[in-house]
Each structure stands twice: as structure tokens, then as C-alpha cells.
Chains A and B, each alone.
Chain A
């Protein structure tokens, strides 16, 4: 079971739906069409799932960095937004 150590110091289970939602939002915020945003978010989640699969415990910053790195390969602008804005509505 993968655990994420949050910034406040507590740990919680890794939930890739949260990651999907934040990447999807970042894509939408740079006017990426919804269908394409879904596709990109799915790919990024897959990449991060693969990265985390052999780790037991990482920080939320690790997740952010990994997601940002993979997102950069698919959409540079979305990656910039994702990396620099912690909360995207």
C-alpha cells in the first residue's frame, strides 16, 4: 500500500483520483479541450502509478514533481500551471 506524507506531516493512502482531478483541471485551465484533457490526465496518472508502484511512502511534493515532469511531456503550459498553482478551481 502506497502512502503519501502530506505537507502537514500526516500520511494518507495514495489516491490517483485526486491526481487525475488536479491534472485534468490544469489542462482545462489552459483551454485544452475536455476530451484531450481526460486523455492527458489518464496518461499522467498511469505514469505516476508506475513510478509509485515500487515505493511504499513518498511525499505529496514527490507526487507533484513526478506528475509535473510527466505532464510536461504531454502539455508544457498545463505542466507550468500544475507546478506553480497548488489549488486550481
Chain B
């Protein structure tokens, strides 16, 4: 191996080396290779990263099976006879595995190779600004993209590590639904797994330290999800701190504190969903890349404090979403090779929690607007007023819009069936600075869930 010195090398092995093959890294690798650059990707775990292997795809495939089961069980309400509806969890898992397989991650290396990207298996570690080591070999590149993602954060709860717990990674691969489950953390991941297993008959407790579930969003969203959970017989423990986990006759005893009172729950399994932390243990200091506990510090161009190294995806700590990672990766791919720079803009990032009905939000929350001292108006419409609600037999949910004093849309929350799709209209409006009156003037099809968006916008005064 050559001697490592801190001078800029005369020759490089690659134009670009990407560390991490998920959407944060993969998009930049593909786009750069398309432009004729010599590109390599370093990956030490599953090709394709978190989303197709452990995150979005497997969980949504499992949630689809839960939705189908609930629909079948509730079919009698619509005059459809569905008797002896039951679950075969092995087949559910097979459906999930098939969904993961269809993403192409199993052929991951070939997908990159076909695009002209070399795949290097191993753990990348920076030795200096231009050199990364995978142990067996060192590689030098003009540019780097760091897209290593996150790991599950384990809070300091007495006995938790010793007693054992699962995270979303293990939860997607269980051979059967646990009889009882205690979920620590009421964010999107915790809620989705609580709802998933609750649908299959698991007795679920979900504990959240904040006032309500999904605390990062407006409180109406969390409160509505709590209502949905209550109807699904899921025990929601808000303002609750888990203080101890211990083993008890082959089961797990969770001690938690709520309103100053200590209580206990005995469950088969504990699922930890208390947040994630960036994976930054790759010698970033040697490369002059600044980072902290929240992630790698990036500019809006996605460049780090080293202008030749970019960071994208969850490791930047911006928004832990696949769509944000690929957006950042596109920006990095442009800015690495072109003079005209693109800049990341996060003012209209859609966020979806895939419970049933779905909960979605975009743009600013009320708390953010208040913190920024921005005056705003708001309007909310329950979906029960819609014709679609009447025909679907689903009356739980709302659409809420936030707008400036002139009526420019700033944020929105939606809880209704297919809220993930409904939020698209509002994302487009907020991204392009449209006023509520612009949405109001748009003809919406009857009877659709999107009519609630238009109705909410009619209640905003536009100047």
C-alpha cells in the first residue's frame, strides 16, 4: 500500500466515491456515472440501504396486509360476507419479502455495475481528505458523498439492554405477531408498528414522553391518531417515561411513570422506537468534515465543511425520509460537477405516517410559525362533511391548513384515507407559494378526499 500523505494526489482512483448505497448515495452515484464520471460505492451492509431492506418498503408491505385484514374483518358493515377471516403470518412475511425482492436490492450490486458504478464491499474510513480505506485497500477520489444513514438510538433505561429489545429491523422479520408488545416512542416508526401489530391482535402499549403521539407535528394529528388507536384497542401512554425493563418468567416487565405514578406492563416483547442517531464513525475528522450528535453539518449545496465532500440523507440529520435523501443526492450530484449550484429547500417537505387512515403533513407546523414569530391564520375541516366520507363509512380525520395573513399557504396537516396522496396537492401549492384562494378556485372532483383541502382553503382569507 502507498504511503498516506496529506498532499492532493496527482492521480485518483475515482472521480467520486460514495459511502452508503441507499437513496442518499445511490442517486448521486447513478447521476454522476451517467455524466461519464468514474464512480465507486462503498457499502458494508445491505445494498440499497435502509429504505428497501428495513424501512419504508417492508413496513408498508406489512401495513398493507394489516389493512387488508381489517377491511376483511369489517366487510359485513358493507353487506359483504367475510367469515373465518384469519391471518397466516408466515405468508404475510412472504408477501413482505416479495415486496423487498421486487425493489431489486437482491440484485443490488448488478444494478450499480450496470450503471457503470463499481461496488466495493467493506467499511469505509477516511484516512485523509482524499483517501478512504476499506481495510484491504485504499481508494483516492476527487469527490466523496457520505450517505451512511442512522442507527437506532437506545435511551438510558435501566435493564433495557440486559433484558433485550427489538427495533424496526427485527420487527419486520418476526415469524409471528407477538401476543403483547410495549413500544417505546410515539413517533412515526413507533406508531406504524403499534398499528401493524395491533391490527393482528397483539395487545399493544405505546409510550410517548411528550403530550401526544407524533409530537413533531401539530397536536391535532397526534390526538386524532390517538383516537384511531383507542378504537383499535391500542393502549396509548402519553406523557409517559419508561424507567425500567426487566425479565419476568420469560416475559418482559416494563415499569413506566405517568403523572407521577409508577405502573407496570408485562409483555412478550419490547420494541424500541425512540429515535435515530447519525452514523458518523468513519474518520470524518481526518477529512476535515464537521459533525455533531445531530449529524454532518452541510450547506444548502449539500457540501460539508470540506468542499470536496458532500453528505446526503439521514446522516445530515435534516429529515429522515427517503424522498429527502434522494432530493439531497440529486442536488449534490449537480453541485459536484456543475458551476451553477442548486440549493436544498426544505420548506415543503411532505411527511406521512402510514397508519389507517394515514396521517400526513407538509410545510411549517404551528409551533414552527410561532417560534419564528410569523402571524398566521388557520382553517380546519373534518372529513365527516365529505360525500366520500359518507360513501366510505370513514368519518375520522381532518384537513388543516396554515396560511400567512395574505393567504399564502405555509403548512398543512391531513388525517384521512390516502392522506399521503392528498398531501401532494398541498405540497405543490406550498412549494410554489400559492395562496389558499388558488386552491379554492381549482375544481376538485366529487366525491374525493381532496375536497376537504379545497373546503379548508375557502375558510382562509386571501388578500
Interface size on B, residues (CB 8 A): 18
- Per the bound structure, the CA–CA distance linking A66 and B283 in Å amounts to 11
* Nearest opposing residue in chain B for A66, CB measure: B281
Q: CB-CB < 8 A to A5: which residues of B?
A: 4, 127, 133
B285 and A56: CB pair below 8 A? no
A59 & B127 in contact (Cβ 8 Å cutoff): yes
Q: Is the CB of A57 within 8 A of B5?
A: no
* A28 within 8 Å of B (CB atoms): no
Contacts of A55 in B (CB 8 A): 123, 125, 135
Give Cα A43–Cα B133 distance, bound, in whole angstroms: 27
> Per-residue CB proximity of B1-18 to A under 8 Å, as 1/0?
101110000000000000
Contact assessment for A57 and B285 in the assembled complex, using a CB-CB cutoff below 8 Å:
no
B145-181 CB contacts (< 8 Å) to partner A = none
Closest to A65 in B: B285
Question: How many positions in chain A have a CB within 8 Å of any CB in the partner chain?
Answer: 14
Find A56's partner among B3, B4, B123, B281 (CB 8 Å cutoff): B123
Q: Write out, one digit per residue, whether chain A residues 29-70 have a CB within 8 A of any chain B CB (1) or not (0).
A: 000000000000000000000010011111101100100000
B118-159 interface (Cβ within 8 A of A): 122-123, 125, 127-128, 133-136, 138
Mostly helix, strand, loop or mixed at chain A's interface? Answer: mixed
Q: Are B4 and A54 in contact (CB under 8 A)?
A: no
The complex places the Cα of A20 from the Cα of B168 at a distance, in Å, of 39
Task: Write out the residue numbers on chain B whose beta carbons fall within 8 Å of the beta carbon of A56.
Answer: 122-123, 125, 133-136
B335 interface hit (Cβ, 8 Å): no
In the complex, residue of chain A having the shortest beta-carbon distance to the beta carbon of B126 = A59
Whether A61 contacts B123 by the Cβ 8 Å rule is: no
CA distance A10 to B133 in the complex (A): 14
Query: What's the nearest-Cβ distance from chain A to residue B236, in Å?
Result: 37
CB of B283 within 8 A of CB of A58, answer yes
Contacting residue for B125 out of A10, A11, A57, A65, CB 8 A: A57
Identity of the chain A residue whose Cβ is nearest the Cβ of B134 in the assembled complex: A56
**Assembly CA distance A51 to B282 (angstroms):** 11
Cβ–Cβ contact A59 & B286, under 8 A: yes
**Contact indicator B1/A62 (Cβ below 8 Å):** no
Cβ–Cβ contact B133 & A57, under 8 A = yes
Shortest CB distance A64–B (Å): 10
Q: Which residues of A contact B135 (CB under 8 A)?
A: 55-57
Minimum CB–CB distance from A66 to chain B (whole Å) comes to 9
Q: Which residues of A contact B (CB under 8 A)?
A: 5, 9-11, 51, 54-59, 61-62, 65
List the interface of chain B (C-beta within 8 A of A): 1, 3-5, 122-123, 125, 127-128, 133-136, 138, 281, 283, 285-286
7 nearest A-B pairs in the assembled complex, by CB-CB distance: A56-B135, A57-B133, A9-B3, A9-B5, A9-B4, A5-B4, A5-B127
- Interface pairs (25), CB distance under 8 Å: A5-B4, A5-B133, A9-B3, A9-B5, A11-B1, A11-B4, A51-B281, A56-B122, A56-B123, A56-B125, A56-B133, A56-B136, A57-B125, A57-B127, A57-B133, A57-B135, A57-B138, A58-B283, A59-B127, A59-B128, A59-B283, A61-B285, A62-B283, A62-B285, A62-B286
